[in-house]
Amino acid sequence: MRSGVNIVLVLVALALPAAVPAQAGVVINELMADPASDWSPTDGNDEYSSVEDEWLEIHNTGEDPVDVTGWRLRDAVSDSSWRYGFEGTIAPGGFLVVYGNEAYAWEDENGYPRYGLSLNNGGDVVTLVRADHVTVVDAVAYEGDETRDDCSFGRLPDGSLDWQLLDGMNPLDPPATGVRPSPGGPNVCSPVAGETWGVIKALYR
């Protein structure tokens, strides 16, 4: 069925505009579909889970706070179920991250199938929708070559139209960007450093 999934991905990607205009300056800014470490600070443990440690970040590029209460994430490939519902306000220039375990909990609480974020390693389309559950705020389509163990796929610089593989923790040869994944923080270019995973994770708790 892999070929069928690929066809769906292509059709959905073609249906999306090259850049979906952001509503109120909020964009999907970075995501990790293929975690290989314990990324989530909210799962209550230090154990790695390929599903619970997936994450997605949204970013307010505007100059005013944005209330995202009721906004939802949708996975266009697996099925049409909602993956997560946001609550709260994002400050100007701020970031908001949802982890796979948080998506699990939200699905359980709201009676949806338990998929987590369901970020397909082979490619996917993720859509952010306003509280009316109709208006698309932003959408991103990515392919299998844009995922890699502990590499995120993100806008560089933040909020721009340029998406890059952030491979600072698992460098390509040569490194694609050398930028480390940064859930909840800005995507900043810096040399690849030999830091331990514990030090890197502590930066984003």
User: 18-73, pLDDT tens digit by residue?
Assistant: 344 444 599 999 999 999 999 999 999 999 999 999 999 999 999 999 999 999 99
Q: Residue 199 in contact with residue 183, Cβ under 8 Å?
A: no
Label residue 176 by pLDDT band (50, 70, 90): confident
For the chain, list the domains and their CATH numbers.
2-165 (2.60.40.1260)
pLDDT digits (tens, 9 = 90+) for 65-116: 999 999 999 986 545 679 999 999 999 999 999 999 999 999 999 999 889 9
Mean of the pLDDT values across residues 184-203? 64
**Radius of gyration over every alpha carbon of the chain, rounded to an integer in angstroms:** 16
The answer to whether the Cα torsion of 63, 41, 117, 123 is positive or negative is: positive
Q: Which backbone phi and psi does 174 adopt, to 5 degrees?
A: -75, 165
CA-wise closest residue to 84 among 116, 125, 131, 36: 116
pLDDT for 80 equals 61
Q: How far apart are CA 204 and CA 200, in angstroms?
A: 7
pLDDT for 137 equals 95
3 state DSSP class of 178: coil
The DSSP 8-state label assigned to residue 41 in this structure reads S
